[in-house]
Chains A and B, each alone.
Chain A
Amino acid sequence: MTLSIRDLAIQIGTDRVVHVDALDVPAGGRLGLVGESGSGKTLTAMSIAGLLAPEIRVNGSVQLDGRELVGRADRSMARIRGAEIGVVFQDPLRALNPMMRIGRQIAEAVRLGNRPISGAEIRSRVVELVDQVGLSGVEGVTRRYPHQLSGGQRQRTLIAVAIASRPKLLIADEPTTALDVTVQEGILDLLLELSTTRRMALLFVSHDLGVVRRVSERVAVMYGGRLVETGTARSVLERSHHRYTEALIAASPWLTGPTERAELIGRPLDAIPGSVPEFGQFPEGCGFRDRCTHAIDRCAERPPATTTSDDHTFTCWNPAHMREADLHDIRT
């Protein structure tokens, strides 16, 4: 496993806001981490790279190729993430330093991620990266400042920064959310291509099920700081068991193909009732039960993780798409 998470707990002040029991991404694997804002998905992703603010406490285990990352000092963690973890952020304009030329920002990542490296090697590597992310057609791109590029070009720059060290793991946190729909496709293609050709594990964080479906092999759904459902992209998104996943899909205008498109046009979207509570204010038991239209009394107890034969895990007392017999198994 490139990435292996066990019992990851993130605590802000006295509130434990994230608790991930288990999450794995194999080498070259592509995992989509899905959830509404406030579900804890970005916290989880940033904790892997050790990029949370120092006052946020992280416990449990995050292993990258078998090496423990939790509890490392900043210096040691910085070296590891520089060399082995790449991160693409949501808002590429804000994620780039407005007062520094693009070339220098990429070169900085090359230098920090490939130590030791000579100046000449850095320069040739920057040219190579600019080409790889499809920016070589932009005249004098390395001499430009972030505000002189388009949104898509900035995100490509950020991807160049993220892959500068040839990382084993690429974390993409809502990488297309701030971009125009027309530009999104190009960025997704680039991420997919990079992940496949370099066997780079991809952790793709997004609230957009359509995008996640396109990119991921496996999908993990988060709600209230916990994983509620994980499995292959196909089984989670087409035969979701957890009621939250089901509600999320019903609320998404995502489409898979021309035939379904025809069916879905005119379909009203079912908004999920209520809103995501503040961290630390989710109900006991299943965190989703106060917004769930299928909640039963049992939901006041924390539902156990159930794994079906096709490696599909969920935590729900009253799951969808289940036979009666299986339902009985879950509840006893």
Chain B
Amino acid sequence: MLRLLLRSTVTLVLSALGGSLVIFLLLRALGGDIATSILGVSADPASVAALGAELGLDRPWAVQYLDWLAGFAQGDLGRSYGLRYDIAEVIGNRIGVTLSLAFFAMVIAAALALFFGSYSAINAHRRRGGLVSAATQLGLAVPTFWVGLMMISVFSIQLGWLPSGEYVPWTESLWGAVRSLLMPVLALSIPLTAIFTRYVRSAMLDVLEEDFMRTARAKGRTLHGAIGVHGIRNASISLVTVGVMQLGVLIAGTVVIERVFSLPGLGDLVVSAIGSREVLVVQSTVFVILLIILCLNFLMDISYGLLDPRIRDAEREASHV
């Protein structure tokens, strides 16, 4: 377990460093002069140069990169070029929205997928099993933003049940937060549920063939009892795997859904920052998103070891060599 922990940590740090470099270079490679875009094309070259110097844009890239990284390590992300706001503070204010969206979408999708996936596997030879498969096909095909728009049109505009475009933080009102996050979370969880359900289904089909399921029944469990006690846990390993793979997709989905529902999250921040050429804001926010994904990856790596004793032992044995 210690070895697994150590290896996962090293992976985390190296990926973060590599990722930061890629983000930094990509944004520089896009070109365009930041000072010009802030002051406008008609500004005189002298003031453009002066602003560039003030923002530190005249320094070599390597210095800019290391300066950014060092600041990041201390929690100081600098100020935005245009509006001069504290980037760290803004990200801090917005990160909760994105994390809430991603977390609840993930949890809801996992729970639904365990149910539907198992149901579909148990009824694999019947029509209702096929129905679930057809539904997952649909869930994969429907774009998240469209689902979001449909929800707004039905539940906010026509029925007036749920708010859209106003975000209530958790700290203010629990009920308000639930109401404002319900639709975006559901919209996000639809494609995730569809993907997860497929994985759970195939994992559960394998588990159903396992001898230990028959042993469980021989002990006196019904088929459903055996699935509930022995099947779900063994099939959930596959859910962890696919969960890791879908993290990037999920975060990308939150960017879109935050725009659709006008939620003040990180995705919304990135999109508006790109519009106003706030390179430093984009750079830091994308890096924060990357860190979130890497940290979750790290947690899921560790949870393999917690879920499967065989992996735990393999790690222990390897560390004795």
Contact = CB atoms under 8 A, between A and B. Distances in A.
Given A99-B307, A99-B309, A147-B310, A82 B211 contact: no
Given A74-B223, A78-B222, A112-B221, A95 B309 contact: no
Interface in B188-230: 210-212, 214-225, 229-230
Given A74-B223, A147-B309, A147-B313, A95 B212 contact: yes
B215 A112 contact: no
Contacts of B218: 49, 51, 81-82, 85-87, 89, 161-162
A148 B313 contact: yes
B79 interface: no
Interface residues of B, number: 25
A329 interface: no
Interface in B224-242: 224-225, 229-230, 233-234
Contact of A95 (B211, B229, B310, B313): B211
B234 A99 contact: yes
Nearest to B307: A99
A233 interface: no
Interface in A75-94: 75, 78-79, 81-83, 85-87, 89, 91, 94
B313 A161 contact: no
A143 B204 CA distance: 27
Contact of A97 (B125, B212, B220, B222): B212
A109 B216 CA distance: 8
A145 interface: yes
A117 to B, nearest CB: 12
A96 B219 CA distance: 12
B221 A94 contact: no
B215 A95 contact: yes
B215 A89 contact: yes
A227 interface: no
Contact of B219 (A108, A145, A148): A108
Contact of B212 (A54, A74, A81, A98): A98
Given A97-B230, A99-B233, A147-B313, A161 B211 contact: no
B67 interface: no
A79 B220 contact: yes
A215 interface: no
B214 A89 contact: yes
Contact count band on A: 35 or more
Contacts of A95: 211-212, 214-215
Interface string B301-316: 0000001111001000
B222 A74 contact: yes
A96 B212 contact: yes
B128 to A, nearest CB: 14
A148 B310 CA distance: 9
B158 to A, nearest CB: 45
Contacts of B214: 46, 51, 89, 95
A204 B214 CA distance: 18
Given A99-B234, A147-B309, A75 B222 contact: yes
A113 interface: yes
Nearest to B208: A53
B173 to A, nearest CB: 41
Contacts of B225: 78
B252 to A, nearest CB: 33
Contacts of B223: 54, 74
Contacts of A87: 215, 218
B216 A108 contact: yes
A94 B234 CA distance: 13
Nearest to B224: A74
Given A97-B212, A148-B313, A109 B222 contact: no
A263 interface: no
Interface in B253-310: 307-310
A89 to B, nearest CB: 6
A207 B4 CA distance: 45
A55 interface: yes
Contacts of A78: 217, 220-222, 225
B216 to A, nearest CB: 7
Identify which of B212, B218, B221 gathers the most chain A CB atoms within 10 Å of its CB: B218
Contact of A51 (B217, B224, B309, B313): B217
Interface of A: 46, 49, 51, 54-55, 74-75, 78-79, 81-83, 85-87, 89, 91, 94-100, 108-109, 112-113, 145, 147-148, 158, 161-162, 164-165
What are the 8 tightest A-B residue pairs by CB atom distance, in nearest-first order? A82-B220, A112-B220, A94-B211, A87-B218, A109-B219, A95-B211, A97-B212, A145-B309
9 contacts: A51-B214, A74-B222, A81-B217, A82-B221, A96-B215, A97-B215, A99-B233, A112-B220, A164-B219
Given A97-B216, A112-B220, A161-B218, 4 more contacts: A74-B223, A87-B218, A97-B212, A113-B219
Interface of B: 125, 210-212, 214-225, 229-230, 233-234, 307-310, 313
